[in-house]
Amino acid sequence: MMESAVLTIGHSTHSIGKLIGLLETHGVKAVSDVRSAPYSRRQPQFNREALRRALEERGVGYDFLGAELGARSDDPSCYENGRMQYRRVAGTVLFQSGVDRVIGESRERRVALLCAEKEPLECHRTLLVARELVSRGVPVAHIHADGRLEHHEEALARLLKELKMPEDDFFQTREQVIEEAYARQEDRIAYVARSMHPVSKDNMA
């Protein structure tokens, strides 16, 4: 994999040692935290300050980008009927500035985007942030809990299979099929404001 590739990882219920071990296995030297709320009562080892200390003790940098690249935008224009719209978020200046920071960092050292979800296809780090990076020509791969590395294209192929969508469609290009798959998965996981709708699976990211 190219040195400029950006990786992603979900801390899930790992111990801090397991998480850092996964990062070190793949040569990660800096973590960009894309959680909107970097705190967890169930997994306090991943609270922002504790995580920063643990990473820096192992020589891994830490950058919090929850405001720029988190799953919950503070911009009302990024919502429709209370549900966050990823394409609107991707078009904001704030989001693009966060992507710029990740790309800039990746040119200096190996970076991993960190969020909470174990499964990359269940997280905005894949459907929103990684999608934008790939559109800019930056290769992306996802670190799984077992240490396996999955290239973003492989993850998309898996998403099509899970959604029972064809790789090739007589009436659509592959790009159009992929866009539809992104949209379907976004409908499943995108943050929904508590005051208007039930909380989605990605609300704690």
- Name residue 115's beta-bridge partners: 10
Is the CATH number 1.10.3470 carried by domain 6-204?
Answer: no
Phi and psi of 111, rounded to 5°?
-115, 145
Across 123-147, average pLDDT: 98
Cβ atoms of 66 and 33 closer than 8 Å: yes
Report how far Cα 33 is from the mean position of its chain's Cα atoms. Answer: 9
Instruction: Check residue 162 and give its pLDDT.
Output: 97
The mean predicted confidence, pLDDT, of the chain is 92
6-10 β-sheet, strand order: 61-64, 30-33, 111-115, 6-10, 140-143, 149-151
**Hey, where are the domains in the chain?**
6-204
Instruction: Check residue 40 and give its pLDDT.
Output: 86
Write out pLDDT tens, residues 94-103. Answer: 999 999 999 9
CA 127/CA 121 separation, integer angstroms: 7
CA atoms within 13 A on the CB side of 89: 28
The C-alpha angle with vertex 22 and arms to 131 and 33, in degrees rounded to 5, equals 45
Across 58-65, average pLDDT: 98
